[in-house]
Structures are given as C-alpha cells and as structure tokens.
Amino acid sequence: MLLFLLLIYIYLQLDRCNWTLYFETVHLQTEKRGKMRIRFIFWLIFWCSYVLLIAKSEPSEDKRALLDFSRNINHSRSLNWDEKTSACSSWVGVTCNHDKSRVIAVRLPGFGFRGSIPSNTLSRLSGLQILSLRSNRISGSFPSDFSMLGNITSLYLQSNHLQGALSLDFSVWKNLSILDLSNNALNGSIPHSISNLTHLTVLNLANNSFSGEIPDLNIASLQLLDLSNNNLTGSVPKSLHRFPRSAFAGNRLFDDLASTPALPPISQPKKKSTKLNHSAILGIIIGFSTLAFVVIAVLMTACYSKREGENGVSVTPPKKEKSKKKGASESQSGNNRLIFFEGSNLAFDLEDLLSASAEVLGKGTFGTTYKAALEGASSTMAVKRLKELGVGRRDFEQQMELVGRIVHENINPLRAYFYSKEEKLMVYDFYNQGSVSSMLHAKRAENRINLDWESRLRIAIGTARGIAHIHRQNGGKLVHGNIKASNVFMNSQHYGCVSDLGLATIMSPMVPPVVRVGGYRAPEVSDSRKATQASDVYSFGVLLLELLTGKSPIHTPGGQEVIHLVKWVHSVVREEWTAEVFDVQLLRHPNIEEEMVEMLQIGMTCATRMPEQRPKIYDVVKMVEDIRRVNTGNMPSTETRSEVSTPAVITPAVTPPIAEMGASSSGKH
C-alpha cells in the first residue's frame, strides 16, 4: 500500500516539474516521446499495483467456496454475488475481518434456500465465526462437514426442514456460544458431546423430535435453554433445574421439576370459602361493623381531647414527626403542604407549583400529567394530578413514602407529593424528549424522534433494570402494575427510565378496562390493584413487541377491527413471516436482524398467557443485556447489576457478539 502511494506521488511530482530538469539536453521531439513513455510506464505500474492490492485484500478461497454454495443450491431470492465484485464490500450477507483476508460471518436468513446444503462449500470457510441460514427450507441431514468450521461461535439453523440424527462430535467447536436448531425435524438423542462446549450460552433444540434422556449439560456458561416439544423421556438432570419448566414442556419427563403443580396454594382457600353459610357471613359483617364503630369512636374522642388540650405549648403532630423520620420534609404547615423527599434540592412551594404555567402532556389511566414551568426558577417539573383514589389518606402517604425512598437511575424519582380532599398531586422530573410512546407513535409533523435500533435496545435494557429494582423493594413484593410505553422515558444516558411507580395498588379499579391499558395488561389481571410481578413481566413483553414493530398494543388500521399486538405477532410468526413483524424504520439498518429476532423471542416469552411460564424479571434483564455483549469491565453479576451505573456507551466486545446480526429483508404490513 505504501509503495502504491509512493508511485502516485512520484508521478505527480514528475508531471508538475514539466520534466525540464531531467531532459535539458534532449531534443524537443525526443523529450515528448520520453514523457509519453514514462507516463505509460507509471500508469502500467499504477494499475498493476492496484490489481495486486485488490487481489491481496480479497479472500479468494472463501469467495470461491461461497460461489460454489450459491451455484449448487436453489434459492428464491437473488444474490448479488459475482466473481468480479468484492465479496467483502458488496456481497449481501457476507462480512470479512478487518484486513479483508477471511470471511468471518455469513447471514442469509429467509433467502428461500431449498434442498440440502452442498457438501464441501461452506465447510471451506475455515475462518467463519457466525453462520445464519435460519427461516429457509433447507432439508436433508445436518451437514457432517461442518466439523471443519473450527472457529464457529454462533450457528443459526432454526426454522428449516433438517432431519435425521445429530451424528456430529460437537467437541470440535471449542468456541461455540450459540446453537439454535429449533423448529426442524431432527430426531435421535441429544449428543452428549454438547456438554463439552464450555463457552455455550444459548442452546435451543425446541420443536424437533429428539428422544431419549436429557444428557447432563453441566455447562456453567449456559444462560438460555429450550428443549420443549420433543419426545424426551426420563428426568431432568439436577444441573438443569435452574431453568424454568417451560424449557422442558411438551416432553414425557417425570421428576419434581416437571410434575410440580402450577399454583397449589390457590385452590385450597377458594374451596374453603365456598363452605361458609349465610349465618357465618352475617356474623362476620356484624363483627366488622361493630369493630369499625368502636375505632371511629376512639378516634373522635382522641381528636376532641387534643383540641381541649391546647394550652400554648408547641406540640409536634405524630404523623409529621413520622414523615420526617422517613426523610420527607413539608414546605408548609397545616393541611396544604407539599412534601419533598430527602436529597431534593428543589426550591418551590405549593403556591409556586399551582401558579406555574402548565401544559397538558397526556391523560393516562390514573390521571392527567402536566408540564409545569416554575416562575423565578430554572426547573421544569412533571406534575400528575390523580383521579379517584381507592385508599384513604394514611395508605396513600405510606405508599408515597415507600416510593419516595426508591432511588435508581432507571426509575423516574418521585420528588414530592401533595394530598388534600380536593387534590392529589405527584411531582416528578421532566424529560424533554417525551415518553417512548410519543417517540414511537407521534405524527412526524409533531417533531417525532426516530428511534434507531441502538436507542430501542437501550430503552429495553434500562426499563428491564428499573423493573428488576422495583421488584426487589418492600421485601421483594413491590409491583409497578402499569408498565407501558407512555410511562417509560429516556434518561441522560439514553437508557429506559420507568415512571408512575406505586399507583396501581392505591387507585380505584378501572371498569371496564381502558382500551390502551388493555393491550399491556396481563390476561389474568382484571383489577389493577391485583397486579403481580408476573403481570409486570407480561407488560414488559408487550413493550418489547411495541419497540420491535412500531405498532401500538391495540390498534385499528384503517378503521378496521381492533388488532391486539400480542396475538398479531404470534400469528405472523406462526406463518413463518417473521421479517414482516419488524418496524420498517428498523429494516433500514444493516446487520441487526438476528438481534431483533432475539428480542422478539424474549418479548413473546414474557407475554405468554400463563403467568407461571413467564420468566422472572431478573432473568429477563440478563436476556436483554445479552442480546448484544457490552464492554462493561468488572460489571457485577445480574443480581446486583441494576444497583450500579448504566454504562454510558454500548460497544461490541472484542470477542464475537452473542447475537448474530442478519441483513434486513422486506418491510412490514
């Protein structure tokens, strides 16, 4: 390369000096001929150097292997592979290493390949690390010559027509991280040699016809396992008990893991409650009424005794003292007080808040949110005016104290609250970019922000971490209860940030359910006050599908019938038109399709109908984070990761990424 540039430089210098210094004693005609000859020589050297440079940077052997593959297998979509063009620069689905000497990735999902993989073609790509031929119609047995791919790290052959047994010795793939052979017709036993894959993180063999017992896959690195819907028998090895039961569903297994009843404690109380007769119920009602009357009488007596005891001595009300112990401070005395939380440096009171210029940001399930620009202050706050509460003042304040103590970078902090008979207000930080819902669905005339794949991935990661932190609070029993795109924002590091925490359990039930909320609400939840952590996971799954499709959870295209996003996604994927699911805005970005497919699988797993089959949010955090490996240094494990700062930049690690990224295909409906 340096020689090539040097020749160009010499040629330009010779041309500029007009050759006068070199041919002073030569005749004018001889000089012209000499100049022409020298120019011809330099041009010849120039093109020879260029050809040699191109030939050296092109992986010629890998190029021939790929051409042999394409010529010997039928495919419905055309490939722009040509012997005269650069495989590393222009061939679709082909990625080379940094010096363009080897092909390291081939991604051809959904290209309509039919028939078996030609032998001695792809197996000649000795530097190949990622191979994706998913969602084609490849048939025949699993290619035995794939054992020559010693550097393979990710293999995606799901959703094809492969059949027969896996006779390959998987031990040769020392670096294999992801193996997905799901949705084929493979049979026989699961090879024991898979247990030797010490770097394996994902193993998906679901929806095949594997039989026999499950081998002891004691692989410490394994994070995602799916052996469902096969013909496996026997018991689940103890080393695999850490995976959910859904990973083994649809087999003929017998052990504690597979035979444990889904919800054993629930049926017992219901049976007992039906045995109460009318007399018992009447007695209970009378007892509670009497108890309530006594409590009211005691409270009234205490109030009168306090009024009579006013003698000029300053007495601190017990409730106020309790709130101060919890770190909250009141901006005013009396009933009209705005209560701030510890660590807040906001300098305004209730009067400032009520007199601020307000702009309606949105009307949600639990109230209306305003943008409040405070006069004489540089701060702009988001103020939510709540609708009817389903609890009294004491329960409301206790819930606010619980929520106000939660501090996490992926949770919008509650800065202050106000309670009176007429008004209930909550004060949050204001985010200029608006909610994720507005970013996805606002009209372009309204300055809609185009969310690329990187941004959507950050939103998913941050939101999952925020929910995981919520689920750890209050002894691991706290629930958000209203996860949706309009309650998710982007923090300063452009990661998802959850808002509206703690309202679901204290608001009056919405009957009938609000349509927009119905798209996020889990099927088992009919009352928002009875939301669970499993229903939070369902709502998060819907949010993932919304990020992927760009569609609202419930929408009516062209005024037609109502379409539920979860059902629509399932129907499209079932028809093997997975590419039609994705937002057309995302399909403009190259090499992200496999990452989108992984997020799609996570979203569908979270939004499964049965709550006991949904993963825990802590596992979901790990799944979403592993869609793309991040360079996090000494990042703690998943159990404590959400307690630390979110990394400022997502960058692929030096090692090959977990998620193979496919080339974009067609648009969406």
Nearest to 193 by CA among 217, 175, 177: 217
Strand duo 357-363 + 367-373: pairing: antiparallel
- Listed in sequence order, the residues at least 6 apart from 555 whose beta carbon sits closer than 8 Å to its beta carbon are 562, 563, 565
- For 613-657, the pLDDT digits (tens) are 999 999 999 999 988 754 333 333 333 333 333 333 333 332 233
Count of beta carbons in the 10 Å neighbourhood of residue 114? 14
Statement: residue 286 has pLDDT above 70: no
Considering the domain architecture, whether residues 126 and 7 belong to the same structural domain is answered as no
Statement: residue 663 has pLDDT above 80: no
pTM score: 0.52
Considering the domain architecture, whether residues 67 and 46 belong to the same structural domain is answered as no
Rounded distance, CA 433 to CA 272, Å? 53
Annotation-wise, does 272 bind a ligand?
A: no
pLDDT for residue 630: 41
Is residue 448 included in any domain, yes or no?
yes
Using the CB atoms, write b or e for 223-243: b if 16+ within 10 Å: bbbbbbbbebeeebbebbeeb
pLDDT for residue 276: 46
Mean pLDDT, residues 517-536 taken together = 84
- For 185-244, the pLDDT digits (tens) are 999 999 999 999 999 988 999 999 999 999 999 998 898 899 999 999 999 999 999 888
Q: For residue 455, name the pLDDT band (cuts at 50, 70, 90).
A: very high
Rounded distance, CA 461 to CA 452, Å? 15
Statement: residue 497 has pLDDT above 90: yes
More confident residue, 5 or 649: 5
Considering the domain architecture, whether residues 437 and 489 belong to the same structural domain is answered as yes
Statement: residue 32 has pLDDT above 70: no
Total domain count for the chain?
3
Rounded distance, CA 647 to CA 196, Å? 33
Nearest to 190 by CA among 159, 222, 227: 227
Considering the domain architecture, whether residues 165 and 43 belong to the same structural domain is answered as no
8 A C-beta contact, residue 107 and residue 660 = yes
More confident residue, 437 or 259: 437
Considering the domain architecture, whether residues 506 and 372 belong to the same structural domain is answered as yes
Task: Provide the token pair at 469.
Answer: 């932190």
8 A C-beta contact, residue 611 and residue 524 = yes
pLDDT for residue 280: 53
Q: Which long-range contacts (CB under 8 A, 24 or more apart) does 143-152 make?
A: 143/116, 143/117, 143/119, 144/168, 145/119, 145/120, 146/122, 147/123, 147/172, 148/123, 148/124, 149/122, 149/123, 149/125, 149/173, 150/126, 150/174, 151/104, 151/126, 151/127, 151/175, 152/128, 152/176
Considering the domain architecture, whether residues 354 and 229 belong to the same structural domain is answered as no
Statement: residue 79 has pLDDT above 60: yes
Is residue 289 included in any domain, yes or no?
no
Task: Provide the token pair at 256.
Answer: 């504690």
Considering the domain architecture, whether residues 128 and 243 belong to the same structural domain is answered as yes
- For 422-447, the pLDDT digits (tens) are 888 888 888 888 899 989 887 654 55
Mean of pLDDT over the chain: 75
For residue 74, the cross-strand partners are 114
Statement: residue 28 has pLDDT above 70: no
Residue with tokens 């099927």: 523
What CATH number corresponds to the domain at position 243? Answer: 3.80.10.10
Considering the domain architecture, whether residues 511 and 584 belong to the same structural domain is answered as yes
CA 405 to chain centre: 27
Question: Residue type for 42, please?
Answer: F
Task: Provide the token pair at 654.
Answer: 């030096």
What CATH number corresponds to the domain at position 422? Answer: 1.10.510.10
Considering the domain architecture, whether residues 17 and 146 belong to the same structural domain is answered as no
Is residue 388 included in any domain, yes or no?
yes
Is residue 308 included in any domain, yes or no?
no
DSSP 493: T
Rounded distance, CA 195 to CA 203, Å? 11
Is residue 307 included in any domain, yes or no?
no
Is residue 469 included in any domain, yes or no?
yes
Mean pLDDT, residues 494-507 taken together = 87
8 A C-beta contact, residue 149 and residue 124 = no
The range of the structural domain enclosing residue 163 comes to: 60-256
Considering the domain architecture, whether residues 129 and 7 belong to the same structural domain is answered as no
Of 206, 227, 256, the last residue of a domain is 256
Task: Provide the token pair at 412.
Answer: 């919008």
Rounded distance, CA 499 to CA 561, Å? 31
Q: Find the farthest-apart pair of alpha carbons in the chain and give their distance in angstroms, rounded.
A: 131
Rounded distance, CA 59 to CA 125, Å? 10
pLDDT for residue 502: 79
More confident residue, 515 or 182: 182
Is residue 407 included in any domain, yes or no?
yes
Instruction: Find the range with the poorest average confidence among 255-264, 546-555, 584-593.
Output: 255-264
Considering the domain architecture, whether residues 368 and 243 belong to the same structural domain is answered as no
Q: What is the DSSP string of 62-78?
A: HHHHHHHHHHTSEESS-
Is residue 164 included in any domain, yes or no?
yes
Of 224, 256, 288, the last residue of a domain is 256
Considering the domain architecture, whether residues 67 and 52 belong to the same structural domain is answered as no
